[in-house]
A = this chain, B = another copy of it.
Amino acid sequence: MSHAVCTATYRCYDDKADFNKKALGIAVGLTVGSWTDLPEARKAEMEKHLGRVVSVVESGGTEPGTRYADIVVAYPDVNFSRDLPALLVTVFGKLSMDGRIKLLDLDFSADFLSAFPGPKFGIEGVRGLLGVHDRPLLMSIFKSVIGHDLPNLREQFYKQALGGVDLIKDDEILFENPLTPLQKRVEACMEAARQAEAETGQKLLYAVNLTGPTSKLASQAKLAIASGANALLFNVLAYGFDVLHELASDPEINIPIAAHPAMAGAFYPSPHYGISAPLLLGKLMRLAGADLALFPSPYGSVVMPREENLAVQAALIDPALPVRTSFPVPSAGIHPGLVPLILRDFGSEVVVNAGGGIHGHPMGTAAGGQAFRQAIEATLNNVSLPEAAAKPGNEALRTAIDSWGYKTP
């Protein structure tokens, strides 16, 4: 087969099906429709449109509900335009409704990929903006700020910034509102960032939540930039991957975009239906242009199995994809005592992201950030947290592990 193709990998559960026949039905049905009935002359013309079964690997037991196959099908590029809606509708439009089937992975042809510039910044670019190259980054999440006014918001921002965090993200459920409208929010928070920088000497990215009607998102982003914004937060799955792709491809939107996984749980957790987390929150977010990609951590209340987490991370940094990497941001349930685990699991190219683990620090929000920075420094220097906590100047870390404990990898 000499034509360029994108391939889709499915996991298909069925107690009785002939999986080879099923795979052939997919490959033909979702491309040329029928094949064996075609006259030979027509086959010659249609061959370049025909999907092909790449592999069928049957697994699973004899217990009802446990028999499945992983099916890989190649779809000729000539059948779809160079955008994610076209590819997703081709490979998982009608098929998503055809029994117990989950889309596990996609692989893209070089030609398809050529339409995707990917993240503008990626890990290296975000590090460059912050001037931090030698340690994991630290992100702080606004505590619920619905109903707060600008001075209140600014104060919360300032306290987070004082703790030495590298990034602060909006609450993803903070939408355009009269108390803290986008432009004023950006102005107030960036002013607080400058004030904190004067004290800490540290740069900071503020990811302001980009919301509202789809057709206005690009102009809202530019308005935010004109107001001083230096990063965006975006609820990608509420809008579609193509919207992220268009925002990330816009030369005037020249600040990093952090992709929030809101609504992802509608897609990935079922073993039988939906789209796998590594594809949804990893590969597709990155291809569409996320500079930072948030996903559920294996540590907190919003859980994802650790191996799935690591597969999301792997997709975000996989050198095989010829676009910039996306900064992995495992999120939820994170406190300073987990830093050694996070660094063991994700290495140094990770954003440690915390909300309650910063704001809930007994000594206050600024100490919450400091405790994380102390935990990160200790871990990078192979110093155990209890040992680091005992050192002078590390009261913040000591208090944090007194409150939340710590884990030794």
Chain A interfacial positions (CB closer than 8 Å to B): 30-34, 45-46, 48-49, 78-81, 83-86, 88-90, 92-98, 100-101, 103, 143-144, 146-147, 172-173, 175-177, 211-215, 218, 235, 238-240, 242-243, 246, 260-267, 269-270, 272-275, 296, 301-302, 304
Contacts and interface: CB of A to CB of B under 8 A. Distances in A.
A188 to B, nearest CB: 19
A33 B144 contact: yes
Contacts of A176: 81
**Residue picked from A88, A144, A238, most chain B C-beta under 10 Å:** A238
A7 to B, nearest CB: 16
Contact of A97 (B46, B212, B215, B264): B264
A187 B262 CA distance: 42
A381 B399 CA distance: 81
B265 A97 contact: yes
A90 B79 CA distance: 37
Number of copies: 2
A45 B147 contact: yes
B239 A96 contact: no
A359 to B, nearest CB: 10
A30 B94 contact: no
A301 B17 CA distance: 14
A173 B97 contact: no
Given A79-B173, A92-B263, A93-B172, 12 more contacts: A32-B144, A33-B144, A33-B146, A81-B211, A85-B211, A89-B173, A93-B173, A93-B238, A93-B263, A96-B262, A214-B214, A214-B246
A147 B32 contact: yes
A260 B89 CA distance: 10
A51 B337 CA distance: 32
**Residue picked from A81, A235, A246, A273, most chain B C-beta under 10 Å:** A273
A407 to B, nearest CB: 22
Contact of A146 (B31, B85, B97, B213): B31
